[in-house]
Structures are given as structure tokens and as C-alpha cells.
């Protein structure tokens, strides 16, 4: 039993110190106040927030409170306390919550991976920035690409992500597509930054005990196993809810509930099943998958948003929930304009912005449109100077209606401005092939970057086809943190993609991916295991 008076004093002190609450505000004038259910839930959430913020900001030693153990020894405030209520909803006292033992200490930010970053705020003052997801703890059971994309993004926003891997094996991508023998591949490192790695055999009883403790102390469990795998591991929703009713369980699956839900899905399968491949490519060619990982990484990004939304809703409900992001659904969401066009086609039998118009025939399904823009502004990829030897000497050119006079001026066809065949957007739709052929005659006299500079001066939308080599060398992308150089202890320095989302008060510092099991001892110590306990678990093959 904890020392109630000491815990109340700590709660009051932490509230006042961190949030500016008065002692009366901190516990609703302490004991005896009638508090409705919703208010109790909000208080419980507020208590955790205050304690976690206080411990993170000032350290456990500063906020140490006496608590008597059964043997009479004093303990630091490494546990949480909850209010006790009488039948008429009066606060009668507080008690130790054994299910959440040591939770605040597990939330302390680690200097190497969760430290804030100094920046200049709007008022000109230099302050230590916090992270948007500071205090959120993720139990990461993901592998390959879709799940790791999700958890890496959460880690970039400050969440403490603990990646659980098999001892001696780890994530399969550690060894896939290796460019340097014997070290983690770029496939793995570029999807697992800012995480901690532990190895754990959850099939063994002691491994299951460790897992249960992690479930009790984490906010979110993320997985992208095959359907039913978690249940076969004994990690059912009911089991998780019993241990931690506030936990959010987030999953990537190939398909949602239905006839395909048990099918195995990879990136290209998702693109095909989600409608992307049928609408990609040229009219006279086969369905084509895109080079962008819209199935794997696209689904991971969708799942990350679902997790953040569930965390936000938990502030109100006080409970966790299941979050599902099927890969087919995510791809379809990114292809919604094609579902739009399917309905347009069924009503009108034609679509004027597609290259099949006006001479080609439309079937009963959305056709492949090559490099047409897919919107109301006709566009195409055109050759630039050097296209004969450079496979990327091209530019995307859009003939936006508002800048049509400028287009005519640039390419040397001023008479087209008043020509009835070209004067209006509707008229131009009948002549897109000769129009783009004439524009290409001009672009072939210019380097793609030179053409872009000229066109931008006239506000004509365009974009050079940039290779990965060109993107990697782009200094502006280094300056914004979109491309980041990371130093790894075994493979050395390499380039990776940084956080694509920039927040003024939550700066991202990309840190290297973990070695296999690198943080096993650290995490177990935070769970309360002694050095001898850890050594025994290692000898027994649990870790």
C-alpha cells in the first residue's frame, strides 16, 4: 500500500509545477468531492499526463515520494496511484494501481532517441522542443515494410517504439537485398529509424511473462502478421484488454473482412486488388504497377493516422480500441479519382480528358490513360534535350487554361490564342495530340531544368523527371531534412528519407536503426528485471 498523503502531495506538486494548477485544482479540492464518471476518467488521464510530464521534465529523483513496501523499505515513485470511490461517488482515498506498476518511469525520454531538439520559436526565444508523441509507448510487432513505415513515423514524432524480434533472426528485411555482406540491409535500416529493438521468444512461458508486462505498460500494439497470427500466439484482444484496457491494437492486413481476408498480400498484389494497376499504363499495354510503394508504405501511413486518432479518442473514452488498415482499402483511397471516373463513364460513355477521346473507344471500365493528368487540366510527359541518351531527360507539361496565352507565346505559336481550334479548353481537347507534339518540339531544344525555369517565369505548371541520383544530390532536400545522412555502427554512413511532415513545435531528429536486440537489457531493466534475471533469461533462450 502506498503512502496516500505522499502521493497526493506529489500529485499536487507536479500539477502546480508543470501545469500551473493550484493545490485545490489538482485533486478537485482533494477528498470528499462528488465526481461524475466522465470527470473521473478525465482526472485519471490528467493524473497520468501530469506524472509522466513531471518525471520526464524533472526526473524521478526530484519527485521521489515515500511509499512503504511490505518489508518496510521505501521505494521511489515508480508506480501510479488511483482514486478510491464510495458507493455515492465520493472520493474516499487513493490506492496503488499494481497493473500499471512502474509506468511513469518507463516513459522517461531517452537522450539518444527521444530528446527534444532546440529551435527558435515565434517569439525569438530558443527553447527545448518537445515531440508531438512524447510519452506514447508503442509495442512494435511489425516486419518488412507496411508496419515498419507506420511505427517509424510514430517514432519520428517522439513515440518510444520497442520493436520485438526473434533472437538470432530478427526482421526478415535485415538480410534482404543486402549491399554489404554481414550487416543490416538498407531495406531494414531505412524503415526502422528511431526505434529500440529487443529479442524475445514469446512461445516460452517466461517470454510470455515479459510480453504481458510490455502490454501492461504500452499504449499501442502494432502488427502486420497474417490473419489470425496474434490469436495463435495467445495474444488475443480479450487477453490484451484484461491486461490493459487502454491499449490500442493496430493492424495492417491485405484485405478487410470478406471472402479475401485470409489471402496473403504484398505490395504489388495490393496495387492490383486496389484498382491502381488496372488504371496505370498505356492503352495498348498491360496493367502496370507503380514504382511508389502505395500498397505497403501507403497503408502504413493510413494506419499511423488511425493510431493517432485512437489515442486522441482515448482521452475522452478512457479505453483502447482496434484499428485496422487493409492494404486494398488504402490503395483504393489513393485511387479514388478512378472510382470517380468509373461513375462518370457509366453515365456519359466517354471522358474528354482521356487520350482515347475523341478518336478511341471507351469500354465499360476506366481505361489506362498513359501519362494524362487524370484531372481537368490536360498534361503529358515530353522529351527534352538529351533524351536520346538520358532516360530521364523529360518534363511533365500541363496546358492549364489560365496560362494558355503564355504557353502559346513560349512555344512560338501566338496565333493559337485566337484560333477557334485552340482558343478554348473544350476546343483544345479535340487536338491534344498535335498540341503536345508542338510543345515537345520546343522542349526538345531545352534541358529539362532550363525548360522548367522558363516555364515557371510564366506560371506554367511543369515538373522535370528527376532520377533518384538527382534527388539524392539535391541540397535543398538535405536542408529541409527530407533527405538525411545517417551514420550506422556496422554499415557506415548512408542516405535515407526523413520525416515528410514538418512541424514547427515537434522537430524530427532521425537516429539510426537498432542492431538486433540492442536494447533488450535496457527494456528489461526498465520493467524491473535485475541483471541476474536478464542473464538467466538469456541462458534459457528467452531473449
Active site residues: 296
Torsion, Cα 230 236 237 242, to 10 degrees, reads: -140
| CA gap 30, 18 in Å, rounded | 18
Torsion, Cα 11 12 16 19, to 10 degrees, reads: 40
512 to each of 46, 368, 393, 406, 497, how far by Cα in Å?
A: 33, 41, 35, 48, 12
Nearest to 338 by CA among 353, 321, 324, 319: 353
Nearest to 283 by CA among 345, 359, 342: 359
User: Is the distance from CB of 324 to CB of 253 less than 8 angstroms?
Assistant: yes
Neighbour count for residue 272 (Cβ, 10 Å): 17
What phi and psi values does residue 138 have, to the nearest 5 degrees? -115, 130
Q: Which three cell numbers stand for residue 351?
A: 471522358
Max CA separation in the chain (angstroms): 96
User: Is the distance from CB of 461 to CB of 398 less than 8 angstroms?
Assistant: yes
Nearest to 56 by CA among 106, 113, 119, 126: 106
Q: Which three cell numbers stand for residue 10?
A: 506529489
User: Is the distance from CB of 206 to CB of 178 less than 8 angstroms?
Assistant: no
Nearest to 148 by CA among 286, 23, 297, 306: 297
For residue 423, give the DSSP letter.
Answer: S
Q: Which three cell numbers stand for residue 337?
A: 479519382
User: Is the distance from CB of 220 to CB of 247 less than 8 angstroms?
Assistant: yes
User: Is the distance from CB of 449 to CB of 462 less than 8 angstroms?
Assistant: no
Q: Is 434 helix (H, G, I), strand (E, B) or coil?
A: helix
| CA gap 209, 203 in Å, rounded | 10
| CA gap 407, 157 in Å, rounded | 43
| CA gap 183, 275 in Å, rounded | 37
Amino acid at each position: 500500500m502506498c503512502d496516500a498523503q505522499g502521493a497526493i502531495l506529489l500529485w499536487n506538486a507536479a500539477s502546480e509545477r508543470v501545469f500551473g494548477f493550484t493545490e485545490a485544482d489538482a485533486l478537485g479540492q482533494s477528498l470528499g468531492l462528488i465526481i461524475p464518471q466522465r470527470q473521473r476518467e478525465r482526472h485519471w488521464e490528467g493524473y497520468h499526463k501530469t506524472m509522466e510530464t513531471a518525471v520526464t521534465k524533472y526526473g524521478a529523483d526530484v519527485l521521489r515520494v515515500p511509499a512503504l513496501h511490505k518489508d518496510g523499505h521505501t521505494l521511489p515513485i515508480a508506480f501510479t496511484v488511483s482514486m478510491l470511490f464510495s458507493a455515492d461517488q465520493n472520493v474516499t482515498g487513493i490506492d496503488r494501481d499494481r497493473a500499471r506498476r512502474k509506468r511513469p518511469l518507463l516513459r522517461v525520454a531517452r537522450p539518444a532517441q527521444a530528446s527534444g531538439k532546440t529551435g527558435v520559436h515565434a517569439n525569438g526565444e530558443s527553447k527545448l522542443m518537445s515531440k508531438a508523441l512524447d510519452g506514447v509507448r508503442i509495442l512494435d510487432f511489425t516486419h518488412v515494410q507496411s508496419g515498419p513505415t507506420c511505427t517509424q513515423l510514430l517514432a519520428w514524432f517522439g513515440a518510444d517504439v520497442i520493436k520485438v524480434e526473434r533472437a538470432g533472426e530478427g526482421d526478415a528485411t535485415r538480410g534482404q537485398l543486402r549491399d554489404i555482406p554481414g550487416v543490416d540491409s538498407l531495406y531494414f535500416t531505412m524503415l526502422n529509424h528511431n526505434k529500440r529493438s529487443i529479442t524475445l521468444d514469446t512461445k516460452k512461458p517466461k517470454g510470455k511473462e515479459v510480453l504481458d508486462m510490455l502490454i501492461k505498460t504500452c499504449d499501442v500494439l502494432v502488427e502486420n502478421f497474417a490473419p489470425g497470427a496474434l490469436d495463435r500466439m495467445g495474444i488475443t484482444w480479450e487477453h490484451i484488454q484484461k491486461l490493459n484496457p487502454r491499449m490500442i491494437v493496430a493492424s495492417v492486413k491485405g484485405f478487410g473482412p470478406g471472402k479475401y481476408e485470409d489471402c496473403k498480400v504484398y505490395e504489388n498484389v495490393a496495387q492490383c486488388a486496389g484498382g491502381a494497376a488496372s488504371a496505370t499504363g498505356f492503352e495498348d499495354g498491360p496493367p502496370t504497377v507503380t514504382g511508389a510503394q502505395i500498397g505497403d508504405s501507403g497503408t502504413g501511413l493510413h494506419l499511423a493516422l488511425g493510431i493517432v486518432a485512437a489515442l486522441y479518442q482515448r482521452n475522452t473514452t478512457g479505453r483502447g480500441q482496434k484499428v485496422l488498415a487493409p492494404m486494398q482499402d488504402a490503395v483504393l483511397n489513393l485511387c479514388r479519382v478512378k472510382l470517380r471516373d468509373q461513375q462518370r463513364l457509366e453515365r456519359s460513355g466517354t471522358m474528354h480528358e482521356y487520350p482515347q477521346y475523341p478518336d478511341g473507344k471507351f469500354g465499360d471500365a476506366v481505361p489506362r490513360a498513359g501519362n494524362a493528368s487524370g484531372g481537368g487540366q490536360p498534361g503529358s510527359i515530353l522529351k527534352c534535350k538529351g533524351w536520346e541518351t538520358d532516360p530521364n531527360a523529360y518534363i511533365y507539361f500541363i496546358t492549364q487554361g489560365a496560362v494558355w496565352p503564355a504557353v502559346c507565346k513560349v512555344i512560338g505559336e501566338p496565333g493559337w490564342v485566337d484560333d477557334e481550334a485552340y482558343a478554348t479548353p473544350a476546343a483544345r481537347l479535340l487536338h491534344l495530340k498535335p498540341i503536345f507534339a508542338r510543345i515537345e518540339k520546343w522542349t526538345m531544344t531545352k534541358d529539362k531544368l532550363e525548360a522548367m525555369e522558363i516555364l515557371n517565369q510564366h506560371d506554367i505548371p511543369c515538373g522535370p523527371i528527376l532520377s533518384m541520383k538527382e534527388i539524392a544530390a539535391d541540397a535543398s532536400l538535405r536542408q529541409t531534412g527530407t533527405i538525411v545522412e545517417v551514420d550506422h555502427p556496422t554499415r557506415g554512413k548512408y542516405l535515407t528519407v526523413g520525416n515528410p511532415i514538418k512541424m514547427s513545435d515537434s522537430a524530427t531528429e532521425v537516429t539510426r536503426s537498432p542492431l538486433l536486440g540492442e536494447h533488450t537489457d535496457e527494456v528489461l531493466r526498465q520493467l524491473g528485471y535485475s541483471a541476474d534475471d536478464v542473464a538467466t533469461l538469456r541462458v534459457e533462450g528467452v531473449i
